[in-house]
Chains A and B, each alone.
Chain A
Amino acid sequence: AQTVTQSQPEMSVQEAETVTLSCTYDTSESDYYLFWYKQPPSRQMILVIRQEAYKQQNATENRFSVNFQKAAKSFSLKISDSQLGDAAMYFCAFTYGGSQGNLIFGKGTKLSVKP
């Protein structure tokens, strides 16, 4: 069975600083995909970044980047130059090539940004 674990229920960062959110996963699949989603107070889920397991290069989207450690089954999200608008719940999610629809989510990390 596939599982996704986020071990940090809450995190806090000072504005303009950098923060890293942790995610580990467990799977026996070789073809899989990992995601970070942001859920602001409006509660709409927003796709932040996507990583394909077969790509060694870490994905980057502006201030957001991941550290994908395939052997360790770790997929952390780094937010640089944190902004007040980054305050939200962040969910790590997983799916695999043979899946027809099941995005498996972690329980989330609540990020606070202090001015």
Chain B
Amino acid sequence: DGGITQSPKYLFRKEGQNVTLSCEQNLNHDAMYWYRQDPGQGLRLIYYSQIVNDFQKGDIAEGYSVSREKKESFPLTVTSAQKNPTAFYLCASSIGGSRTGAFFGQGTRLTVV
């Protein structure tokens, strides 16, 4: 079945450590996105990518990094520079930009301990 797979579902990190969240899609979508969700907030865009080897910063990119070496994969690294990394992270993809509506993975809950 086609879809978006995020792993792991739950992730714990010690302060000062970098951690990478995985996102893989087999929908053959060109565009991929990372969003952050905090309690009482909507989703906020961290990074997005329209094509392989190209990506753009979203509204809250500080403390995060991404890569897009393959069409299917768009991993997100939460670096130690991210001051408040505990949140729910959602990866999404779409056929062409976001005007068609994006399809989301099941999310990763990151907790800093």
Contacts and interface: CB of A to CB of B under 8 A. Distances in A.
For chain A, what secondary structure do more than half of its interface residues adopt (helix, strand, loop), or is it mixed? loop
Contacts, number: 69
Interface in B66-113: 88, 90, 92, 97-107
Contact of A101 (B97, B103, B104, B107): B97
Given A45-B90, A45-B92, A106-B42, A97 B99 contact: yes
A4 B104 CA distance: 20
Given A4-B42, A100-B56, A107-B40, A45 B104 contact: yes
Interface residues of B, number: 28
B88 A43 contact: yes
A88 to B, nearest CB: 13
Interface of B: 31, 33, 40-45, 48-50, 56, 58-59, 88, 90, 92, 97-107
